[in-house]
């Protein structure tokens, strides 16, 4: 895979996992509302995909070492990987009880992040366990913090 496409795909996928899981877990613990969690995931899929794509676009331009084509490849691959992956979290929300959908979403997201991390480690020819652990620990920190923030908001303002 071309560097520009891999960069956008890896960024979009990672961001799609972390932001969508954080949002889902936080909104669930704060509201326990399926419609609010669903609306949040759709919002992330659209607004944050555009935001991340523009962020990659500007970052690549600021480096002043990529062609216009490479910049747009990174931009587009970031948008589509973030947008499409974030949408996958909607399936369990629509089909299952919300608390079950959240657990399935966490398992799904961490599994994909683990696979991506393994592939990154393999490409870099480093031990995969350390790379996988580092990425999963960061994701779990986000999940735990957003859960407790949701609980706090529910208690404080609910």
Q: Are 9 and 1 in contact (CB under 8 A)?
A: yes
- Upper half-sphere CA count for residue 69 (Cβ side, 13 Å): 2
**pLDDT 10s digit of each residue in the chain, 158 long?**
899 999 999 999 999 999 999 999 999 999 999 999 999 999 999 999 999 999 999 999 999 999 999 999 999 999 999 999 999 999 999 999 999 999 999 999 999 999 999 999 999 999 999 999 999 999 999 999 999 999 999 999 97
Q: What per-residue confidence (pLDDT) applies to 52?
A: 97
Given this model, what pLDDT does residue 4 score? 92
For residues 121 and 132, the answer to whether their CB atoms sit within 8 Å is yes
Spatial contact of 122 and 144, defined as CB atoms under 8 Å apart:
no
Q: Considering the entire predicted model, what is its pTM?
A: 0.94
């Amino acid at each position: 895979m071309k560097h520009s496409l891999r960069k956008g795909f890896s960024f979009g996928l990672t961001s799609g996992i972390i932001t969508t899981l954080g949002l889902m877990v936080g909104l669930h613990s704060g509201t326990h509302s399926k419609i609010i969690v669903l609306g949040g995931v759709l919002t992330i899929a659209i607004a944050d995909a555009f935001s991340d794509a523009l962020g990659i676009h500007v970052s690549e331009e600021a480096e002043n070492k990529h062609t216009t084509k490479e910049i747009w490849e990174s931009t587009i691959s970031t948008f589509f990987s973030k947008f499409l992956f974030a949408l996958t979290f909607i399936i369990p929300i629509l089909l299952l009880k919300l608390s079950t959908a959240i657990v399935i979403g966490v398992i799904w997201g961490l599994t994909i992040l683990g696979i991506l991390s393994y592939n990154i480690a393999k490409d870099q020819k480093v031990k995969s366990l350390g790379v996988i652990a580092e990425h999963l620990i960061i994701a779990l920190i986000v999940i735990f913090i957003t859960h407790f923030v949701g609980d706090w908001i529910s208690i404080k303002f609910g």
